[in-house]
Amino acid sequence: MVRSILIAAAIVAGMYGAAFAQSAQDELSSPVLRASVTVSSDVVRIGDLIENAGTAAQIAIFRAPDLGTTGSLPVSQLLSALRAHQVIGVDTRDIREVSVTRSSRLLVSKDIELQIARVLERRNGLGDAANISVTFERDLRELQLDSTHTGDMRATVVRYDPRNSRFDITFEIANDVTYSPTKLRFTGTAVETVEAAVLVRSVERNEILKSSDIVVERRPKAEVGNDIAIRDRAIGMQVRKQMRAGQALKLTDLGKPDLVSRDQAVTLVYEVPGLYLTGRGKAVDSGTEGDVVNVVNLQSKRTVQGVVIGPGQVSIMAPTPRLTTAALAATEPPAAPVPESRKAE
């Protein structure tokens, strides 16, 4: 009798245990709303929005946002769409809106410019890719591609005309879904550039350039040529002609600063071994260090030549002594003695 009671109790306990287990399983598999989702296709499916959606998971119910954008979906609207497909009893967790993001592959203009520069590198006279400046025919900031486009940009058509610097390039990008790659075509101009020292203000002839007068900019190599001046060497130099703001400096535009200016009062220096003399003079010419200039000696009123040796200083060139006839005669070697045998003759 006791044994029968125990068996009955075990059966009842097993039934209740199975019921509790089934209840727990049902609770775990009940549909639950997600607060935010990211989709890769152009449609939103029930399984994207609802956990444990079962056989209804693959049903598309909304159009996805544009590539790379995020949209909000009211829960009330979502529940109405779910009921139409017999999906009920969804645990909304008190969520009022679901955030839906469309994933994408972003191509920014800088990346595209770099790819074009690499394709054109050392082609038709162009130099390194780092020195090629690309300008698109139409304004291009960024491109959004489907996230399935995971392949590299591969150039399939490349055209470049060095006469007008125009390019026409087509790239292909493979994707993970279809066998047909996506084609992207770009047109514009590509020129080789160099770093140039550029004036930030207009300058007059013979002005000395300061650090604040010059900035470094990239300019087309065809515009500035090979005679380009770099900033560090342009500072402290003197411009040989009047120049306007925005002009790129060339080596021929610059020279060493004049240490002596025309009509400037200068110090005349005469120095030979054992003798050092100075005097006052007036420069007839302008010149930098090492230049030969004409100077008026204010004492003798004579014009002499000298070498610029410092600011306002001219070293007078010592005249070269002229050889007279007497001097030449004195320097001739004495005649050879006449032999005794020849004297008798």
Among residues 69, 102, 135, which one ends one of the domains?
102
Same domain, 233 and 302: no
In a domain, residue 5? The reply is no
CATH number at 306 reads 2.30.30.760
Whole-number average pLDDT of the chain: 84
Residue 212 burial (CB count, 10 A): 9
| CB within 8 Å of 313: residues ≥ 6 apart | 259, 260, 266, 267, 269
For the CA atoms of 250, 252, 254, 259, what is the dihedral angle to 10 degrees?
Answer: 170
Q: Residue 288: pLDDT above 90?
A: no
Q: Look at 171 and 320; give whichever has higher pLDDT.
A: 171
Same domain, 113 and 187: yes
Same domain, 246 and 215: yes
In a domain, residue 237? The reply is yes
The closest alpha carbon to 54, from 18, 15, 28, belongs to 28
Domain of residue 79, residue span: 30-102
Q: Residue 261: pLDDT above 90?
A: no
Q: Which helix (H) or strand (E) holds 109?
A: helix 109-120
Pairing, β 313-316 against β 265-272: parallel
Do 162 and 127 meet the contact criterion of CB atoms below 8 Å apart? Answer: no
* Tokens matching residue 54: 């079962």
Same domain, 169 and 205: no
Same domain, 188 and 205: no
Same domain, 287 and 248: no
Same domain, 65 and 87: yes
The closest alpha carbon to 260, from 312, 296, 309, belongs to 312
In the chain, the N- to C-terminal Cα span, in Å, equals 184
DSSP letters for 189-238: EEEEEEEEEEESS-B-TTPBP-GGGEEEEEEEHHHHTT-BPPHHHHTT-E
Query: How far apart are the C-alpha atoms of 75 and 144, rounded to whole Å?
Result: 28
Same domain, 185 and 208: no
* Tokens matching residue 239: 């411009």
Mean predicted confidence (pLDDT) in 280-308: 91
Q: Residue 90: pLDDT above 50?
A: yes
CATH number at 96 reads 2.60.480
Say how far residue 47 (Cα) sits from the centre of its chain.
Answer: 46
In a domain, residue 233? The reply is yes
Query: How far apart are the C-alpha atoms of 284 and 323, rounded to whole Å?
Result: 30
Do 218 and 196 meet the contact criterion of CB atoms below 8 Å apart? Answer: yes
* Tokens matching residue 153: 């940009």
Q: Look at 177 and 169; give whichever has higher pLDDT.
A: 169
Give me the pLDDT at residue 227, please.
87
Give me the pLDDT at residue 125, please.
86
Look at 205-214, 221-230, 305-314 and tell me which has the smallest mean pLDDT: 221-230
In a domain, residue 144? The reply is yes
In a domain, residue 2? The reply is no
Query: How far apart are the C-alpha atoms of 167 and 165, rounded to whole Å?
Result: 7
In a domain, residue 127? The reply is yes
Same domain, 111 and 178: yes
Total tally of structural domains belonging to the chain: 4
* Tokens matching residue 100: 């839906």
Q: Residue 5: pLDDT above 50?
A: no
Same domain, 305 and 233: no
Among residues 102, 126, 153, which one ends one of the domains?
102
Q: Which residue has the tokens 């969804």?
A: 90
Q: Residue 87: pLDDT above 60?
A: yes
Among residues 48, 79, 102, which one ends one of the domains?
102
Q: Look at 95 and 140; give whichever has higher pLDDT.
A: 95
In a domain, residue 249? The reply is yes
Give me the pLDDT at residue 344, please.
45
In a domain, residue 307? The reply is yes
Give me the pLDDT at residue 17, please.
46
Mean predicted confidence (pLDDT) in 95-104: 95
DSSP letters for 75-90: HHHHHHHHHTTT----
Buried b (16+ CB within 10 A) or exposed e, 53-86: beebbebebbebbebbeebebebeebeebbeeee
Same domain, 36 and 79: yes
